[in-house]
Structure 1
């Protein structure tokens, strides 16, 4: 049976709200996911929350939510029924979803990546926008990439904003975080073509030959890839800018490239 929480000062409320802070997420090894769609996606991937909180409403939770709550409770999850106002405090949003889950963070070590499990991997260097990280994860899911490798300093892929933007792909995609030198050393230990997006090349992205496994590297939103990172790439490609814009958003560029790489393999 769910336990009722009716006080804003409840310790569980404070603990869940604390997960909006990166330091707390790291210390606790947990993160928040909001909304039935994302929680259902996680369940379909075999991942259930360790805490579920939902707002009291006429007729009870949505039937799908009831299924997930029952499964999670059977696995020992803490099930909390509370008011919309307290759920809002937990989520930090004025208009929260009717349900949220607390999940354990997966292993983000590069050693957990099996490059042979997919022909396509997405790699991003120093992304600062959690929305871009979530969107790239969603692109990875859409293109059946193996996952996302985040290089150097970056926004937290387990922030509420990134998880929300991923639309559940945080549960379908592997995520690794690593410094550049470590990534390069790991990459060169096995097969893998490193493809960078850059304006400093004449190689058109439509004409390039992409090998498998392909590691698609996009740079920081404002600076792009550092010169030494470009030099390490096996291939640099350029997407022509036909209008006044001088570049694409990092997440958009990643999506265009991922689909082109997939299309090039289909046509060969």
Structure 2
């Protein structure tokens, strides 16, 4: 089994590029997954992992280990290459503290609208141009908690496999059906599937709890700074608003999405 002790090793330098640069992730079609739970969720989401770096002192509490043991613990395929690394190398690559001593190289998927499989009366979250990777992750975590059909990210600023998206989603980026599309393609997709669009916005809006979300529904949220684009607002069946009782007129986008989605789930009996 291969062992890497130098942080200057070519594979480790490549891993650093994947960790830090969206351009490299997009060009190579690869990204890194850090942590045992995240790797297991990626496997559950049918992501292919080619190599896994293991610091056995952290993962297993000892220096000696068999690759088969790691494959079983992380639910990896038999052909996944296991590479042992020193604690110095692992700490150089680790994006956050407290992970379990394993980092996987994974192949990115093409999250296209055509790959979404919807139920008869789907519930979809649309997030337009989320700026912060942490917000994308929080939205995906909310979508997982509400067990909705899909998330569509319209014109994102950050890529889906940014390490902070993975961290803040707690691995839900691998299990929530997700697509990335333009506003125009998203609107066309909703129309072709007879899905009603509700736009969370301040302009000409009605209270969200007066809506009927039991039919095929998509709820669109925008950034806290600029809100939703006119394109999505104009395409909406109804603009909706969460009444505010304080001095400000908006909440964090993931909090707003949670309020709206869980109202829709309440109306549907949460099933």
TM-score by length of 2: 0.88
Q: Deviations over 1:195-242 (max 9, x none)?
A: 111122341111211143211110123111123321111121110111
CA–CA distance in 2 between the matches of 1:166 and 1:65?
27
Q: Deviations over 1:81-102 (max 9, x none)?
A: 1112211222355766411112
Q: 1:98 aligns with which of 101, 107, 124?
A: 101
2:198 alignment partner, SS class: strand
Q: 1:72 aligns with which of 64, 69, 76?
A: 76
Question: Structure 1 residues 48 and 108 mapped into 2: Cα distance closer, same or farther (>3 Å)?
Answer: closer
Unaligned runs of 5+ in 1: none
2:164 aligns to what? 161
1:106 alignment partner, SS class: coil
2:246 alignment partner, SS class: coil
2:246 aligns to what? 243
CA–CA distance in 2 between the matches of 1:192 and 1:266?
19
Give structure 1 regions of 4+ aligned residues with deviation exceeding 6 angstroms: none
2:227 aligns to what? 224
Give the aligned CA root-mean-square deviation in angstroms: 2.4
8 Å Cα contact 1:50-1:72 kept in structure 2: no
Q: CA deviation at 1:12?
A: 1.0
* Structure 1 stretch displaced more, 157-166 or 77-86: 77-86
2:141 alignment partner, SS class: helix
TM-score by length of 1: 0.89
Question: Structure 1 residues 187 and 202 mapped into 2: Cα distance closer, same or farther (>3 Å)?
Answer: closer
8 Å Cα contact 1:88-1:96 kept in structure 2: no
Q: Deviations over 1:108-149 (max 9, x none)?
A: 122212233772111111110100101111111111112221
Q: 1:176 aligns with which of 175, 179, 197?
A: 179
Q: CA deviation at 1:73?
A: 5.3
Question: Structure 1 residues 70 and 193 mapped into 2: Cα distance closer, same or farther (>3 Å)?
Answer: closer
Q: CA deviation at 1:45?
A: 3.7
8 Å Cα contact 1:125-1:219 kept in structure 2: yes
8 Å Cα contact 1:125-1:154 kept in structure 2: no
